[in-house]
Amino acid sequence: MKLMNYKACVCNLCGTGCGQFLKTDGRKVFGVAPLIAHPVSKGKLCIRGWHANELLSTNERITTPLIRENGQLREASYEEAIALVVERMRQFDGAAGEIGILASARSSNEDSFALGRLAREVFGTTVRGIGAEAGHRKSMASLEHAFGYPGAHGSLTSIDKADYILVIGTDITRQNPVIGGNIHAAQRRGARVVTLSSSRTQIAKLSTKHFQQKPGTKGLLVNALAKALLAIRTANRERRANVDQMPGHTEYVASLRSISSVALERASGIRYEEIEEEAKFLEQAKSIVFLFSSGISGLDRPTIDAITNLALLTDRMDHEHSAVIPVAGISNLQGGFDMGVSGEPGNSVFKALAEPDSPIRALFVIDHDDGIIRDKERISKLDFVAYSCAYRNAFMDLAHVVFPLPAYNETDGTYTAADKRVQITRKNVDNPHGVLPGWALFQRLAVASGKAWGYQDAAGVFADIAAKVPGYADLSHELLGKGFGQHWNPKAFPNSRQRKFNAINIEYWESPTTPEFPFALMIGKAQHYWHQNNLMRKTIVPRREYDQTLWLYPQGYIEISPEDAANLKVRDKWLVNVCSSTGTCMKIAVKISPDVQNGTAYIPYFIKNMISDFLIPYENAYAAGEESVIPIKIQEA
Amino acid sequence: MSMYIVSSHEIKQLAEALRASYDVYGPQVDPQTQQVFFDQLGDVEALNLEAPIPSMPVKEILFPQMERVLQYKYDAEAQSVEMSKPYAERPKVLFGLRPCDLSGILVLDRFFLGQEFVDDVYLTHRRQCLLISNTCLNPFPQCFCVCTHSGPDADEGFDLDLTKLKDGYLVRVGSEKGQAIADERNWKPAQPHHLSEHKAVVDRCIDLFPEMATDNKAWVSRVMNRITTGFIKSETWEYIGDQCFECGACSFVCPTCSCFNVEDSRMCDGECERLRTHDSCSFEGYARMAGDHNPRQPVEDRRNKRFFCKLSYPQSKKYLRPGCVGCGRCQWVCPGDIGLPNVVQYIRREITE
């Protein structure tokens, strides 16, 4: 007998894909309960998951299609809005790159797949992208080269069984707290947990070993670990024929041999002897899990290549509890890539928007985070912008037509978590305004343009996905509804058994800091700050928590070490001027943190000026994500 | 106190009969996930008195995670305000409460009803509430009610109390309301040997508790003494604080946590609604004061507040029992490893080192 008030679903707030019950009467959501039997979350949720009911109860919903008239958005019927979009889009030449698609990493697979069809078959365009794809694209490219398919190797559940867990860079207890909790549990049961990060994050404190390296040298350290591992094998006269025969091995080993321990120590601040000690543990481990953050704050390609190479070199990747997982910050980032709505080099919508002479004239956008409207000016000058989202946000101001979408629990949909686990959320609440699910909306647009797709429901869309998307062939809504999802099958990729080393270059990263600009500024994270807070701002308790930080530091904050603060003669909450070497400046409060190294400084993403004034003008820093370092000076204000 | 011996069939009959005039809530197992919820019964057949401890505390029914407690509309021109109460009184039966959850309700009663101010929302939900408790025959993983004087059987607060024995359920009456229900039914009075069987069942259950729980029994009171007198080292609190992920889960699943937050939100048509939501002392914004002073900003200072509340003498005086009822749910949901029994262990380690 089904429960009256509790409905199982999948949390839609990050790439972990935790099991969640919503307490609902079918009209409103009153509460949340964790799902104990879920293999990944095992009855745990983070502050976001526990407050999903607040988000799902917000009044800030888009309830009806809207059309801009005389500068104002007015309510419209679906017929009118769809007809308008079809008519306007017809005036642009998709094939010539005049139409761009900006997909969402929160959309279900069904919505993203249908959006891909809409782009290709109706708009005739290949210019596309996903909101948070920048970092994930690098992860996908590196993994595809190494393992033969664009996706994680292994499962998040491996964390519970593995001997050795290496966490690279990510502040995982903030970004994906439930994964962080699983790592912590692994450490307590005796697994060796090693964290590589320049600041002393919570996971660093909970690890068996923390390498607090200088900024920009994570990849170098991973490569040094590989070198030390090789040295152990050479000393033991051990050969791993299968690893030695992988393409790229000779070049990889040659590069590793060139690592100089003196230069390594100078660049990273870590002694090679320490790495050699660590390599002994790595060599003894039977199963190894590598975790690194992917998405907007992801690592750069050389660092990811160093990670995938080390994974292959350990020769433990065939163990059932080994894994290499790019941990996504948004629920369906992996699914978006699988559905083919990410921008490939050469047809990226971000590039089209950034290049002043690109032909783009119209944009079709799904659920975009307002905090990161890049190229806002360009978008505001486009001839036509259509926007679809469940929640109101600033992107509506840029749109000529707005469509509502259902929230994640108001429609059937599948989501692919960071480790390729495809899970289904069934509709458990009726949308009070009867809005169309994304796939149905895109189908209506297709029909109005004279194309018939014939989808009856989300399960039908998924059947089409199973037929066309590699790896999804064995899956269906019916099957996914029975358990807690299933990983898509990498064997569908012809190269999945041909592992290859990525080419690496050993570079001793030179800090861009100078005597004049002595601090290395990096992008910091803050508790309760996710997805530019587009969603969290619509809750009650998580929003209060986020505001809490802003109340203490209304101008935002820059984290520096106690020693640097003493040298600068500043105290906590004092205002300082921060100036970068490119000449950008901002006034911001000091936050003294013992977890930060001397000579480094962190400003969290959510400080508005950090993005608009600091990161975007600073060439490539935004794209480099977690690895970006900006030389700055800090002066009294 | 009268006692009866009643068959399982009669128990189902009782639940069915009560459905005529009450909303009946009881433990049910979700068929898909096997998770147990104490939820409203659509069908008496779903009532499962042998199901493990419900995953969420029964306080969800009396003090839900999120509730609309006021609706109002302010007319600026007429300077008038219309107000309405969106919550309503409904007679309820909580059928098959585990003794820990029953103890939790008693603590909430003392918090919401037993002090200077009586909380009208809680009172409305609580007023016509029939409590039927159910003795635990064996402990569930993480249970430690033997340490907190709240199980495996109930000794106060129930209207009717059930214990499964060989011959059927022993029904103990705990109130006039309970007696009135028993009087309406043609139940067989229990024999003295049933009472001794009840004691044997409870004793057997206590024997089945894992050593960690029974062994901790003395330590819970020792730790209470330490916490009350402030003898715990700051390093221990920091060790605990480092493991806090600030999710608030421990408070949400605690049968006795009563902290809440109130927020007014404006609907599209000018109408406003006031929401009351669960809150947690693990959150930074929880303790912030006007003027931005926060006496408990570092996570370890916030985290230890929870244990002051659960395990300190002044707090227990207020609730007339320890703030912890030993259900072990905080241990289940914590992504760190700082459920209450573990914290007792950490403090114990400190004492014995």
**How near does any CA of chain A get to the CA of B37, in Å?**
8
Which residue of A lies nearest to B298 if distances are taken between CA atoms?
Answer: A593
Instruction: Select from A30, A32, A50 the residue whose CB has the most chain B CBs within 10 Å, as the one to mutate to test that interface.
Output: A50
Over the stretch A50-62, which tens digit does the pLDDT of each residue have?
Answer: 999 999 999 899 9
Residue B283: list chain A partners with CB under 8 A. 47, 541, 544-545, 548
The structural domains of chain A, with segments of one domain joined by +, span 6-56, 66-132+333-469, 135-328, 519-636
Q: Check if the beta carbon of residue A597 is closer than 8 Å to that of residue A198.
A: yes
Torsion of CA A43, B97, B28, B335, to 10 degrees: 0
Buried b (16+ CB within 10 A) or exposed e, A371-394: bbbbbbebbeebebbbbbbbbbbe
Residue with tokens 């459920």: B339
Q: What is the least distance, in Å, from the CA of A126 to any CA of chain B?
A: 39
Q: Which CATH architecture has domain A6-56?
A: 2-Layer Sandwich (3.30)
Residues 6+ apart with CB under 8 A from B5: B165, B167, B168, B169, B170, B171, B187, B188, B189, B190, B191, B194
Closest CA to A560 of A526, A607, A599: A599
Q: For residue A375, is pLDDT > 90?
A: no
Question: Which chain A residues touch B23 with a CB distance below 8 Å?
Answer: none
pLDDT at A122 over 90: yes
Query: What pLDDT is stored for residue A614 in this prediction?
Result: 64
A606 pLDDT more than 70: no
Task: Report CB contact under 8 Å: A31, B60.
Answer: yes
The label of the residue with tokens 């899970």 reads A423
User: Vertex B213, ends B207 and B219: CA angle to 5°?
Assistant: 125
Q: Is the pLDDT of residue A524 over 90?
A: no
- Partner A, chain B 39-78, Cβ-Cβ below 8 Å: 39-43, 45-46, 55-56, 60, 64-67
Confidence of residue A608 (pLDDT cuts 50, 70, 90): low
- Residue A188, pLDDT above cutoff 60: yes
Token reading at A337:
């890539």
Instruction: Give the confidence band of A168 by pLDDT, cuts at 50, 70, 90.
Output: very high
Cβ pair A575, A606 in contact under 8 A: no
Ordered DSSP codes for A563-614: HHHHHHT--TT-EEEEEETTS-EEEEEEEE-TTSPTTEEEEETTSHHIIIII
Nearest to B66 among A31, A47, A184 (CB): A31
**With contacts defined as CB-CB under 8 Å, which chain A residues touch B35?**
21, 33, 35-37
CATH number belonging to domain A66-132+333-469: 3.40.50.740
- Of the listed ranges A314-323, A611-620, B3-12, B209-218, the one predicted with least confidence: A611-620
pLDDT tens digits, one per residue of A202-235: 999 999 999 999 988 999 999 999 999 999 999 9
Q: How confident is the model at residue A612 (pLDDT cuts 50, 70, 90)?
A: low
**Cis before B152? omega within 30:** yes
- Name residues whose C-beta falls within 8 Å of residue B323's C-beta, 6 or more positions apart in sequence: B107, B256, B309, B310, B311, B315, B316
A610 pLDDT exceeds 80?
no
> Binning pLDDT at 50, 70 and 90, where does residue A407 land?
very high
Confidence band for A613, pLDDT divided at 50, 70 and 90: low
DSSP B276: E
Q: Using CA coordinates, name the residue in chain A closest to B43.
A: A1
Cα B105 from chain centre? 5
CB contact under 8 A, A206 and B37: no
Q: What is the ipTM of this complex?
A: 0.95
Contacts of A177 in chain B (CB under 8 A): 245, 247, 335
pLDDT single digits (tens) A545-567: 888 777 778 778 899 999 999 99
CA distances from B223 to A225, B305, B328, B346 (A): 45, 14, 17, 10
Name every chain A residue with its beta carbon within 8 A of the beta carbon of B284. Answer: 527, 545, 548-549
Whether residues A50 and B247 touch (CB distance < 8 A) is answered with yes
Contacts of A583 (CB under 8 A, 6+ apart): none
CA–CA separation, A436 vs A442, rounded Å? 9
**The pLDDT of residue A609 is above 70:** no
Instruction: Yes or no: say if B50 and B136 are a contact pair by the CB < 8 Å rule.
Output: no
The rounded distance, in Å, linking the Cα atoms of A485 and A424 is 7
**Tokens linked to B99:** 């003794």
Q: In angstroms, what separates the C-alpha of A109 from chain B's closest C-alpha?
A: 23
Contact A34 B283 (CB under 8 A): no
**Residue B110 binned pLDDT confidence (cut-offs 50, 70, 90):** very high
**Contact: A551, B288; criterion CB under 8 Å:** yes
Note whether B330 contacts A: Cβ–Cβ < 8 A.
Answer: no
Options 3.40.50.300, 3.40.228.10, 3.50.50.60, 3.30.460.20; CATH of A135-328 = 3.40.228.10
Return the C-alpha torsion angle A267, A270, A272, A276, nearest 10: -140
A412, two tokens: 């059937």
Q: Which chain A residue's Cα is nearest to B33?
A: A37
Mean pLDDT of A471-494: 95
Q: Is B103 in CB contact (< 8 Å) with chain A? A: no
Residue A630's pLDDT is: 84
Cα dihedral sign, B177-B181-B183-B184? positive
Task: Choose from B25, B140, B245 for mutation: most chain A CBs within 10 A.
Answer: B245
Best A541, A555, A591, A595 member to test B by mutation, with max B CBs in 10 Å, is: A541
Residue of A nearest to B238 (CA): A205
For residue A625, pLDDT over 60 is answered with no
Tell me the C-alpha distance between B3 and B188, whole Å: 9
| 3-class state of residue A44 by DSSP | coil
pTM: 0.94
Q: Structural domain boundaries of chain B?
A: 3-352
Instruction: List the helix and strand counts (H, then E) for chain A.
Output: 24, 24
Touching check for B246 and chain A: CB below 8 Å?
yes
Tell me whether residues B288 and A548 touch, CB distance under 8 A. yes
pLDDT tens digits along A575-602: 999 988 877 888 889 999 998 999 999 8
* Three-state secondary structure call for residue B217: helix
CA nearest A606: which of A260, A174, A218, A315?
A174
Query: Residue B142 has what pLDDT?
Result: 87
Kindly identify which residue of chain A lies nearest to residue B25, measuring between CA atoms.
A4
- pLDDT single digits (tens) B159-208: 999 999 998 999 999 999 999 999 999 999 999 999 999 999 999 999 99
Kindly give the interhelix angle for A272-284 and A261-268, rounded to the nearest 10 degrees.
100
What pLDDT, on the 0 to 100 scale, is given for residue A590?
Answer: 93
Which pLDDT band holds residue A149 (cuts at 50, 70, 90)?
Answer: very high
| Tokens representing residue A479 in the block | 């099957």
Beta bridge pairs of residue A211: A196
Average pLDDT over residues B244-249: 94
User: Residue A81 in 3-state DSSP?
Assistant: helix
Residues of B in contact with A45 (CB under 8 A): 247, 249, 333
Share of residues in chain B with pLDDT > 70 (%)? 100
- CA dist., res. B122 & res. A80, Å (int): 48
Q: Which pLDDT score is estimated for A531?
A: 60
Of B266, B285, B333, the CB nearest to A545: B285
Given an 8 Å threshold on Cβ–Cβ distance, is B245 in contact with A43? Answer: no
Q: How far apart are CA A11 and CA A155, in angstroms?
A: 18
Chain A residue closest to B279 (CA)?
Answer: A541
Looking at residue A18, its pLDDT comes to 97
Which pLDDT belongs to residue B280?
95
In B, residues 267-306, which contact A (CB 8 Å cutoff)? 267-268, 275, 277, 279, 283-285, 288, 292, 294
Other beta carbons within 10 angstroms of residue B308's beta carbon come to 15
Mean pLDDT, range A440-468, rounded to an integer? 97
Percent of chain A's residues with pLDDT above 70: 94
Say which of A58, A184, A541 has its CB closest to residue B283. A541
- Could you give the percent of chain A with pLDDT greater than 90? 74
Is A544 in contact with B285 (Cβ distance < 8 A)?
A: yes
E strand intervals along A104-257: 128-130, 164-168, 192-196, 209-211
What's the rounded Cα separation, in Å, for the pair B157 and B54?
19
| Closest Cα in chain B, distance from residue A177 (Å) | 7
Beta bridge partners of A578: A586, A634
Please state, as a whole number, how many other Cβ atoms lie within 10 Å of the Cβ of residue A67: 18
User: CA A600, CA A597: separation in Å to the nearest integer?
Assistant: 6
Identify residue A139 by its one-letter amino acid code.
Answer: S
Residue type, B66: M
* B159–chain A Cβ distance below 8 A for any pair: no
* Cβ atoms of residues A542 and A54 within 8 Å: yes
CB contact under 8 A, A57 and B66: yes
CATH class of A519-636: mainly beta
CA distance B324 to chain A (A): 20
How distant is the alpha carbon of residue A599 from its chain centre?
28
Question: Cα(A587)–Cα(A291) distance, rounded to whole angstroms?
Answer: 35
Per-residue pLDDT at A528? 65
For residue B264, give how far its alpha carbon lies from the nearest alpha carbon of chain A (Å). 10
Which pLDDT score is estimated for A297? 67
Which of A194-198, A393-397, A454-458, B172-176 is predicted least confidently? A393-397
- Are the beta carbons of B337 and A185 separated by less than 8 Å? yes
Cα angle, residue B244 at apex, residues B241 and B249 outer, rounded to 5°: 140
Phi, psi (degrees; rounded to nearest 5) at A502: -80, 150
CA B175 to CA B77: how far, in whole Å? 53
